[in-house]
Structure 1
């Protein structure tokens, strides 16, 4: 049987792959997408979406405990972890089926199975019915990534978890160790700590949330500790001794190793790209530390082969993958003007309590790059809406180029900052200056007014603090 031929075959149906397929179809190209597990990939099924559903449950539980503050009465407050998980899985399932519907709507051929690339322009898919051969003028690699596992700290799904087990827990942790304080580690630490787990976070770097601005990291640490979390920085888990109902962690801190007992461990020490078993090396695709090497347009150097999203390296964000998917589809379709993503213009969001969001350079990075900076800050305690919401803990920080007024970076911690950050992202995209932002009228009363005040503060014009 002759292979079916397509303009593009996308391997992986996560937020990079399925978006690339849709945009390519919109541009009149004949597209197939191959997925081995779930439409929507890790993000929709085991990452961004179900974690946010669970974090929403813990946020509401936290607010219920504060009912008295708001003049309300709530007795017998509790939670049912199984029901919390059930809601999270239902949300993921709804979005998963939504992606399937989008594939049909856009007339994209879906092939469920494991893909390999036996030769240039060919994709072989092992399905439950046998092997299907696809001809591909262009191939987009969008196979994503999985949790990194360190020797001796491997997950077992029982007492030592990665994100999947943490999303479908067999038990509620009483004493929890989270290894790694990036977005994934901190979100799970925040969720389980809010539900009452005695939580310890171990971070090998000198501060938690190490990619964030140092001031935001320090603010977050203080806030988490106030909520009862224990934070160990410049620390390393050297070994895990596993027993039936407990794990003994050997934690090195300050040159000394101490043993601590936990009933549950979550490992969140980064990710590795899904590059194995595709035949990439034989094809001539260059791989560096489990990630495909590409240029700014996601080209691999092998004609007709592109790589997008997590497999193509940092930042490991769904919205970066989606942007790259659109860009590559437009590039293949011959559009003249395509826009490569610039890492410093992509917002990062962490949905812990309080939330953390940022875009652009940290103050330290801007100075390291040689900029003369002006820095503005505005605390949530100075904002009427934040006080009315009962969310007076937080900070908005902005970093400007003192010479040109360019917004170099924005860093936030507090309620709903993951929504607010986009204002600064748009500002950077439009190349607005401090003058543009200062002359913009922000609605009152809103949290967004703090964005205005932070800009004003950088130029000694702050009004409400």
Structure 2
């Protein structure tokens, strides 16, 4: 039996942050990971997909320069080499994290954890041995999530059908791929394969892409329109879902949609949400843990979020367990309230509402912070809208990336920016500027009066706000 102050279950971004914070506060910490350190983000999600997206964009840019006569020669994308590069990136990251965790004095266990009464966590290691960990202060559950799977397509999984975590199982670049889900993952994968020359069909159940974070007009007239343009030519189909799959003896795959459209494709990639990894209870029931100092963070809350939100939650959860400070909690649920839960219920909110930026590494990139026009209206906020196009900025023409636009919402009563939706090159980087200025509640005139270097993409905020009458 080993005694700890804090036991953290799950070594993804949230769990790692929790373990590091606990050690910083002088606690005895155990970190348990079922598979590989780094979680989905490092091993299957954020990092490897961004490595692939980066190479695909470089391929697209090189092709564009060849077509303009700036470069010459013939090039092709080597998918196997791209995968090897992504694997290498993951390996470097995993080794660095494991070394850093151990150097802090965190005890790292590999195996499947289960929480039992009597302040115990049992870890079933891969060799079959069982280790029992006792804790005094509490448990941080950061077990993450997995792709939402559809039982009706089980027979096709692994051959005709792949899920968002299965990118390394794709051994050859498909000529034609159907992607189910027009959220963040779907948009990123659609851009990745389109930039490599594949024919892409992107299917979304709702009427627009990214319906939860973007206004309909911005999604439809800006993002969806741009995705459909050559050379990408992503076939965006909204208001439909995958109804059926057929695969004949020759291996030909036919996808049938709910709107009676049929497509012959090489692969089907399903990126339609995620579900919680919740098999962590031994003799405890999830509804009976509210007073047992067991905190859920990240996707384990039941609301799938992002790595950086989980990171913040991990820090705050440990502070709550060690310092009994209820005011430090922060994370996000589907209603844009930041909270940490003692159980799976969204209603268990323990903190205040704060801004959270969202980034999507499609091509062009998408970034959002604050309210949408719809949410502002629902809250009774009278707004003024400022817009500006990428093609109106010098930097865009220097880089040859003129597609994009910003939509900014300003509270008409107090002149503060309350929402930003951004689509264009480097959007995922410059959204942090908007986040910081909004978090500081700077009047929109203050944004304009700042010194903005030239030519940079961040100038788009100043130029958009200058269209408003002071």
Residue 237 of structure 1 corresponds to 242
Query: Which is further off, 151-160 or 30-39?
Result: 151-160
- From 233, 238, 251, give the equivalent of 1:228: 233
**Deviation for aligned residue 1:452:** 1.4
Q: Deviations over 1:118-167 (max 9, x none)?
A: 22411000013400000012100000000001232346111210123324
Structure 1: distance between partners of 2:366 and 2:144: 24
Query: Which is further off, 391-400 or 311-320?
Result: 311-320
Q: Deviations over 1:383-440 (max 9, x none)?
A: 1111111111111111111111232111100001000111111122222222332222
- From 249, 253, 258, give the equivalent of 1:252: 258
**Deviation for aligned residue 1:339:** 4.5
- Say which SS state the counterpart of residue 371 (structure 1) adopts: coil
Q: Are positions 1:460 and 2:466 aligned together? A: no
Distance verdict in 2 for CA 1:127–1:81, change over 3 Å: same
**Deviation for aligned residue 1:178:** 0.4
- Say which SS state the counterpart of residue 235 (structure 1) adopts: coil
- Say which SS state the counterpart of residue 203 (structure 2) adopts: strand
Residue 78 of structure 2 corresponds to 80
Residue 393 of structure 1 corresponds to 403
Distance verdict in 2 for CA 1:320–1:120, change over 3 Å: farther
Structure 2: distance between partners of 1:412 and 1:259: 33
Residue 66 of structure 1 corresponds to 64
**Deviation for aligned residue 1:454:** 1.9
Structure 2: distance between partners of 1:170 and 1:159: 12
Residue 273 of structure 1 corresponds to 276
Structure 2: distance between partners of 1:196 and 1:61: 9
Structure 2: distance between partners of 1:397 and 1:153: 39
- From 356, 367, 373, give the equivalent of 2:383: 373
TM-score (structure 2 length as normaliser): 0.90
Q: How many residues align?
A: 441
Answer whether contact 2:310 2:331 (CA < 8 A) is retained.
no
Answer whether contact 2:80 2:172 (CA < 8 A) is retained.
no
Structure 1 gap ranges (5+)? 288-299
Query: Which is further off, 62-71 or 395-404?
Result: 62-71
**Deviation for aligned residue 1:71:** 6.1
Answer whether contact 1:50 1:167 (CA < 8 A) is retained.
no
**Deviation for aligned residue 1:315:** 5.2
- Say which SS state the counterpart of residue 152 (structure 2) adopts: coil
- Say which SS state the counterpart of residue 283 (structure 1) adopts: coil
**Deviation for aligned residue 1:259:** 2.7
Q: Are positions 1:324 and 2:313 aligned together? A: yes
Q: Deviations over 1:59-109 (max 9, x none)?
A: 000000111477622311111110001001111111111110111121100
Structure 1: distance between partners of 2:82 and 2:407: 34
Could you say what the CA RMSD is over the residues aligned between the two structures, in angstroms?
1.8
- Say which SS state the counterpart of residue 340 (structure 1) adopts: coil
Residue 459 of structure 2 corresponds to 449
Q: Are positions 1:214 and 2:216 aligned together? A: yes
- Could you list the structure 1 runs, at least 4 aligned residues long, displaced by more than 4 angstroms after superposition: 68-71
Structure 2 gap ranges (5+)? 337-353
Q: Give matches, 1:165-314, under 5 Å.
A: 165-211=166-212, 212-218=214-220, 219-226=222-229, 227-243=232-248, 245-253=251-259, 257-276=260-279, 278-279=280-281, 282-286=283-287, 301-314=290-303
Residue 341 of structure 1 corresponds to 331
Structure 2: distance between partners of 1:419 and 1:167: 27
**Deviation for aligned residue 1:367:** 1.1
Residue 295 of structure 1 corresponds to none
Residue 141 of structure 2 corresponds to 141
**Deviation for aligned residue 1:40:** 0.4
Q: Give matches, 1:348-363, under 5 Å.
A: 348-363=358-373
- Say which SS state the counterpart of residue 110 (structure 1) adopts: strand
Q: Give matches, 1:432-447, under 5 Å.
A: 432-447=442-457
Structure 2: distance between partners of 1:425 and 1:380: 19
- Say which SS state the counterpart of residue 240 (structure 1) adopts: strand
- Say which SS state the counterpart of residue 262 (structure 2) adopts: strand
